[in-house]
Amino acid sequence: MNLSDFKSIRPEYIVTPGSTVDLASFPTAETGPFKRKKEATKALKKFRKRLSALQERFYAWDKKALLIVLQGMDTAGKDGTIKHVMRGVNPQGVTVTSFKVPSAEELAHDYLWRIHKATPKRGMIGIFNRSHYEDVLVVRVHNLVPPEVWSKRYDQINAFEKHLTENGVVILKFFLHISKEEQARRLQARLDTPEKRWKFSKGDLKERALWDDYMAAYTDAVQKCSTEHAPWFIIPSDVKWYRNYVIGQIITETLEELDPQFPEPEEGLDDIVVT
């Protein structure tokens, strides 16, 4: 799929290739046509039902792969998106990969090595919880490699994604856009809720102190790496149920655009009777 195929799929959230991005101009707390959570949840359920049927056809079709990239600040809702949007799909047709600190083996290879290994095969939906973009985000913010190294990675990432799309991988990239105020509320909620306190780390506060640096890094990432073949979607994510609805809609409509079909059955089956 190219950008023209995405025009009817929430165009207001697509980063136009070559455009200048100002993240502050993108909403974080939008709720679209919905006034209540109940309305959006009902609409999402319809998408999930359709998504389940489309996934079955996509798996049997076996001609394309779908890669979903989720990026965002801590608490933006990457885990929640996977939980609520992908509920009801056949787990045999979905892989989820969470990219954390690279292992010794991964560090011994180029930074895209572990990413390429995890890309989905034909018929599969692969979800990246964080991704290769960490190598122009956290690596940049924490000065893990010099600027002359990470600054070259935008072109490398674009070339890598172009290679994937030319070989049958459809890529959907979602930046879960939350406000700094909403992040504070979610971090505090983790502290205040005993069963969620395990999610909180003092390191979260150190990362939060680098908010402006991360926003600058994200701005460059979505601006320089939104392409015709793999555009970025900036999803308002302060309201969790609206975030889920929008992403569910985009994934479902993307699969509908692909229009996967069941393969033709083997010939000569009409007269067979199983005894």
Per-residue pLDDT of the chain (275 residues; tens, 9 = 90+): 776 666 667 788 999 999 999 999 999 999 999 999 999 999 999 999 999 999 999 999 999 999 999 999 999 999 999 999 999 899 999 999 999 999 999 999 999 999 999 999 999 999 999 999 999 999 999 999 999 999 999 999 999 999 999 999 999 999 999 999 999 999 999 999 999 999 999 999 999 999 999 999 999 999 999 999 999 999 999 999 999 999 999 999 999 999 999 998 888 888 899 98
Instruction: Read off the tokens for 149.
Output: 């190294």
Phi, psi values for residue 46, rounded to 5°: -65, -40
The verdict on residue 209 lying in a domain is yes
- Kindly state whether residue 243 falls inside one of the protein's structural domains: yes
Residue 16 is assigned to a structural domain of this protein: no
Whether 21 is in a domain gets the answer no
Q: Whole-angstrom Cα distance, residue 212 to residue 246?
A: 26
Q: Is the pTM of this model over 0.75?
A: yes
Let me know if residue 105 belongs to a domain.
no
Q: Which residues lie below 8 Å from residue 192, measured CB to CB, with a gap of 6+?
A: none
Residue 198 lies in a domain: yes
How many domains is the chain partitioned into structurally?
A: 1
Domain assignment of residue 263, yes or no: no
In a domain, 264, yes or no: no
CATH of the domain at 118: 3.40.50.300
Residue 127: which domain range? Answer: 3-11+29-100+110-258
Cβ partners under 8 Å of residue 63, min gap 6: 122, 123, 168, 260
